[in-house]
Amino acid sequence: MNEEFLHYIWKFKLFDQQNLRTINGETVEIVKSGTHNLDAGPDFFNAQLKVGDTLWAGNVEIHVNSSDWKKHLHQRDKSYNNIILHVVHHNDEQVCRASGECIPTLELKERIQEKVYQNYLNFKASNDWIPCEKQISITPSLIVNSALDRLLIERLERKSAYIINSLRLNNNNWEETFYQHLARNFGFKTNSEPFELLAKSLPSLSLAKHKSSLLQIEALLFGQAGLLEEHFKDKYLQTLQNEYVFLKHKLKLQPIDGHLWKFLRLRPVNFPTIRITQFANLVYNSTHLFSKTIETTQCSNLIKLMNVDVSDYWQTHYTFDRPSKSKTKHLGEDAVDNIIINTIVPFLFVYGKQKSEEKYVDRALQFLEQTAGEDNAIIKKWDRLKLPVKTAYSTQALLELKNEYCTHKRCLNCSIGNYLLKNS
């Protein structure tokens, strides 16, 4: 037995509640089990209990053995003076407050369903991909869909924290913050860090002042990326170099280290050179990018906005000074979906929350419903388990479920796990 499981059965009242009595024989009626506290202090706040003829409001502390009270030195801690009930699996010692007054104690040892506890132990001992892999198929769709709704909001709230911190660092400048996060997303996993550093080294306002010239925008981006330091043969690249030298001096810029960029094991279409020129074209073709994105009401219009091409030179190149067969290099469908899922939707969500305008939050969720689900190893396994993976709304929630719950065996905190503990 452990405290985690005892917290769970107390929170959801998964024990025999008939004729509850303290170890001293007083009747106990649970009006409200309280709010689960995950930080320091008593385990449950603001519980309401009727002990004997008295209705009490206060906190509840839970232990495996009642003697754990002294082991944890609660008798010396004033924050435990307002405990109205001590809930234990096994009562092996009477415990008292610092004042010497004995605390009402409820023993649950004979009141816990063996089936629920055994299911819990089986989940904890499981070596399957997810603890409930063999049982999840019996979960009603209503339970699954409700869980996914909650998990999606949790995921968006986690992503929000990073955006909110960036906003603070950027003095609440939404345009600049969006520009930095969008740039990071253009680097995708492999080059996200250098792309973010590039954006931070080159304020969006500096690019905006040169929006009339794609050449200048590319010169600024490639130059600040530290990729114009070599001696080039191609006239176009020499022009970029000359333009950058002038702009660097004019704007007092300092480039990042060009060695940060990774080309190894990437498909040529994903080379940072291609992503940078695509990003340059997006900046060139869009005015007030954040405002335009945040006010777009149709996901299809977002796709059109993000479906950028490369400049003429890069139609026949993947890297500097090395010609290749001419090929159109649009930002692919999967890449656009990735940007919608990982940048645009979280920004809509945060913006709606910060401005108290639910229409943006609702739009963020709608865009996820209108975007195809990701196709990766985790989602493939969920698909084999017959979980819904058609839209990004579901797959984002399933990624949260796997990474934040299943991997850590947090079955007691999962509504699907809760159902299976009681019904499998």
Q: Percent of the chain beyond pLDDT 90? A: 90
Domain count, the chain: 2
- If asked whether residues 332 and 194 sit together in one domain, one would say yes
Quote the mean pLDDT of the chain.
Answer: 95
In a domain, 135, yes or no: no
- End-to-end distance of the chain based on CA atoms, in angstroms? 20
**What pLDDT, on the 0 to 100 scale, is given for residue 66?**
95
In the three-class reduction of DSSP (H, G, I as helix; E, B as strand; rest coil), residue 372 is classed as strand
- If asked whether residues 86 and 207 sit together in one domain, one would say no
- If asked whether residues 222 and 319 sit together in one domain, one would say yes
Higher pLDDT, 272 or 99: 272
Residue ending a domain, choose from 112, 143, 159: 112
For residue 76, name the pLDDT band (cuts at 50, 70, 90): confident
In a domain, 368, yes or no: no
Q: Which domain, by its residues, includes 271? A: 189-337
- If asked whether residues 98 and 204 sit together in one domain, one would say no
- If asked whether residues 303 and 201 sit together in one domain, one would say yes
In a domain, 366, yes or no: no
Label residue 251 exposed, middle or buried (CB < 10 Å: 0-12, 13-18, 19+).
middle
In a domain, 344, yes or no: no
**What pLDDT, on the 0 to 100 scale, is given for residue 102?**
87
In a domain, 286, yes or no: yes
What is the C-alpha separation between 225 and 352, in angstroms, rounded? 33
Please count the other Cβ atoms lying within 10 Å of the Cβ belonging to residue 45.
14
Distances (CA, A) of 101 to 59, 69, 96, 127, 137: 16, 14, 5, 47, 51
pLDDT tens readout for residues 94-127: 988 777 788 999 999 999 988 999 999 999 999 9
pLDDT tens readout for residues 346-396: 999 999 999 999 999 999 999 999 999 999 999 999 999 999 999 999 999
pLDDT tens readout for residues 382-411: 999 999 999 999 999 999 999 999 999 999
Q: Is the pLDDT of residue 148 over 90?
A: yes
Q: What angle do CA 117, 413, 60 make, to 5 degrees?
A: 75
Contacts of 12 (CB under 8 A, 6+ apart): 418
Contacts of 101 (CB under 8 A, 6+ apart): none
Residue ending a domain, choose from 297, 313, 337: 337
What is the C-alpha separation between 128 and 161, in angstroms, rounded? 32
Contacts of 421 (CB under 8 A, 6+ apart): 116, 119, 120, 123, 411, 412
**What pLDDT, on the 0 to 100 scale, is given for residue 243?**
97
Residue among 215, 216, 176, 212 at smallest CA distance from 196: 176
Contact 173, 288 (CB under 8 A): no
In a domain, 154, yes or no: no
For residue 77, name the pLDDT band (cuts at 50, 70, 90): confident
Contact 302, 344 (CB under 8 A): yes
- If asked whether residues 332 and 203 sit together in one domain, one would say yes
In a domain, 183, yes or no: no
What is the C-alpha separation between 294 and 302, in angstroms, rounded? 10
- If asked whether residues 94 and 212 sit together in one domain, one would say no
- If asked whether residues 320 and 203 sit together in one domain, one would say yes
Contact 153, 396 (CB under 8 A): no
- If asked whether residues 313 and 197 sit together in one domain, one would say yes
In a domain, 412, yes or no: no
Instruction: Over range 136-155, report the average pLDDT.
Output: 97
Q: Is the pLDDT of residue 178 over 90?
A: yes
